[in-house]
Copies of this chain bind each other. A is one copy, B any other.
Amino acid sequence: MFQNTSSRYSIDLNQIKSSCATCSLRELCLPVGLNDHEVHVLGEVVSHKRKIQRGGYLHRTGSKFQSLFAIRSGFLKTCVLEEDGRQQVTGFHMTGELLGLDAISTEIHTCDAIALEDSEVCEIPFAKLEEISRAIPSLMHHFHKIMSREIVRDHGVMLLLGSMKAEERLATFLLNLSRRFLMRGYSEFEFNLRMTREEIGSYLGLKLETVSRAFSKLQDENIITVDNKRIQINDIAKLRMKMGNSSCLT
């Protein structure tokens, strides 16, 4: 899992599970081939942990950027504020993901990051990361891949917002969550949403009532079972169909 063929050194997950550095850096480190020394160097950089309780801010729009944050546990949302007060959720983030990439550009955070459940992150001072990535090319390359992946993800959301209708958006969203839970060893068919209908709506470009109606519709069709925040996927194939055939109709 998360290993690529070019790895020179395969990290033993069990061995390092208790260490903050490596654990939180699953996405950042594991896939890269690092030797003992390099793992040690990297560990030095990411030693600082931080807990954020539900509802708390990891960072705010406008605050000075110094570090990236690797999510060690928990669940967060990022959102940008419009001048007029309304907020748009730009993403939901879970264990192993990296936050703060948007702030590298201006060294000012361009969004709020808010914990949707008690969470723990590892702080990665960005200047240090750049410094050691000079010494560890595979780390640098992997970091570039992570940034690139974020761009690809955003393009996917743009496609969703630009060309899908409500039900298709929700299906896409649920399948995305499902896959991410699966990747982390949780059930792909049954999970708890950490966010409200309003937050889902904000992310998907829909009003909360529309989100609620789309949930009900999918339930009526026996594709999912909804019990408030608890979601059960009964027919993942049908759910995939829902996602796929937007423009097929035209």
Interface of A with B (CB < 8 Å)?
Answer: 80, 82-86, 88, 90, 101-106, 110-111, 130-131, 133-134, 137, 140-141, 144-152, 154-155, 157-159, 161-163, 202-205, 244-248, 250
State the copy count for this chain. Answer: 2
Nearest B residue to A151 via CB reads B102
Contact A162 B110 (CB under 8 A): no
Residues of B within 8 A of A248 (CB): 84
Chain B residues whose CB sits within 8 angstroms of the CB of A144 once the complex forms: 104, 130, 147
For residue A81, give the distance in angstroms from its CB to the closest CB of chain B.
10
The chain B residue with its CB closest to the CB of A249 is B84
Task: Provide the bound-state CA to CA distance between A80 and B158, in Å.
Answer: 10
Closest Cβ of chain B to A171, distance in Å, is: 14
A146 nearest in chain B by CB position: B105
A163 touches B104 (CB 8 A): no
Expressed in whole angstroms, the Cα–Cα distance for A117 and B84 within the complex equals 38
